[in-house]
Amino acid sequence: MLSGLGPADHLNSLGIDVVKDIPGVGKNLSDHLRTDIGVMSPDGVGESLRANPQDPSQLEEWRRTGYGPLSVAENTSVAFFKSSTNVPAADMELMFNINAPMQWGAPPPKNNGYHIDVGFVQPKSKGDIKLASANPQDAMLINPNYLSDPADIKTYIKGMRRALDLMKSNTMRPLTDLNTISLSPNATDTQIEEYIRGKAESIYHPVGTAKMGNDDDKMAVVDTKLRVRGIAKLRIADASVVPELISGHTMAPTILVAERTAEFIKKGE
């Protein structure tokens, strides 16, 4: 946009000369959300494994063996599932964390425990990005517009209930002190919605603001070879070209986009 590529009316309002009117630039923003549910274990049950790179013993163990707390990510396992049989692909994700939740800057809790991050990976809501001014040092105006589609919160509640069901299961019951759970297993839909809106955060997977599309899609910013429409020798090779969120995380697909772009350039396509 600062270079004059984007919605003409927005650029004109900021005094930026329009090089090419591309209405889709900054539109179609989509992102994954997660909301954690945490619980403590009963006294004496379980073990915590908290990585601390400032701990000399942990650092030495990792350097010497490649194992120890610094080798273990908190998300030790994940599960993708469909909230109903009517959806075409997994729309929810559960990320299992091996430690009881803690507040940033606060000491770890006394007991062991665990928490489940409930990820919403197929949202219908769309946001946008705009410029605050023509000054490149000014921060962008980012409107993620999370949960603006009424269907999204209904799906999210289903995912939260799946996590609660797991915490109450026979398998997890010996490891779970339900008196310490951060969201009541008997919460109503309204209470779960309030919990989500108060605790949800990004999984940092934004896509879509320079989306790829066919020639008949007026909101497509790049074509299927990642070339910016109407601008010679300019391509985009990042997650912004992904038109719709995938259910999985976005690092590998972004590498794929970059590799394909390099192939197109090398072949002169």
Please write the tens of the pLDDT for every residue from 258-269.
999 999 999 998
List residues bridging with 129 in a β-sheet: 142
| Same domain membership, residue 192 and residue 132 | yes
What's the number of domains the chain is made of?
2
- Residue 205 designated active-site: yes
Q: Exposed/middle/buried for 69, CB within 10 Å: 0-12, 13-18, 19+?
A: middle
| Same domain membership, residue 110 and residue 225 | no
Do 205 and 223 form a contact (C-beta atoms < 8 A)? no
pLDDT reading at 66 higher than 90: yes
The pLDDT tens digits of the residues spanning 216-268 come to 999 999 999 999 999 999 999 999 999 999 999 999 999 999 999 999 999 99
Alpha helix positions (H), 145-238: 150-167, 189-199
Rounded mean pLDDT, 3-15: 98
Do 1 and 210 form a contact (C-beta atoms < 8 A)? no
User: Edge-to-edge strands of the sheet including 33-40?
Assistant: 75-81, 92-97, 113-120, 33-40, 201-202
| Same domain membership, residue 211 and residue 198 | no
Rounded mean pLDDT, 131-149: 97
d(CA 33, CA 91): 11
Residue 181: HSE in the Cβ half-sphere, 13 Å Cα cutoff: 22
Whose CA is closest to 240, among 17, 12, 22?
22
| Same domain membership, residue 163 and residue 220 | no
Q: Of 159, 180, 202, which one is at a domain's C-terminal end? A: 202
| Same domain membership, residue 160 and residue 48 | yes
Average pLDDT score, the chain: 94
| Same domain membership, residue 241 and residue 156 | no
Rounded mean pLDDT, 187-191: 97
Is residue 72 a part of any domain in this protein? yes
Is residue 91 a part of any domain in this protein? yes
| Same domain membership, residue 178 and residue 265 | no
| Same domain membership, residue 236 and residue 196 | no
pLDDT at 73: 76
pLDDT at 49: 81
Q: Of 147, 180, 202, which one is at a domain's C-terminal end? A: 202
pLDDT reading at 104 higher than 80: no
Residue 21 dihedral angles phi and psi, to the nearest 5°: -80, 105
pLDDT at 75: 79
Is residue 26 a part of any domain in this protein? no
| Same domain membership, residue 185 and residue 146 | yes
pLDDT reading at 72 higher than 90: no
Cα of 31 vs its chain's centroid, Å: 5
| Same domain membership, residue 161 and residue 195 | yes
Q: What is the pTM of this model?
A: 0.89
DSSP of 220-260: -SB-TT-BBTT-TT-B--SGGG-SS--SS-SHHHHHHHHHH
DSSP-assigned letter for residue 151 = H
For the chain, percent of residues with pLDDT exceeding 90: 86
pLDDT reading at 101 higher than 90: no
| Same domain membership, residue 211 and residue 196 | no
Which of 10, 115, 205, 249 is the catalytic position?
Answer: 205
pLDDT at 44: 87
Helices (H) and strands (E) in the chain, counts: 5, 9
Task: Tell me the range of 8-22, 31-45, 53-67, 106-120 where mean pLDDT is highest.
Answer: 8-22
Rounded mean pLDDT, 199-214: 96
Is residue 130 a part of any domain in this protein? yes
Range of the domain at 245: 207-269
pLDDT reading at 109 higher than 80: no
pLDDT at 123: 97
pLDDT at 119: 97
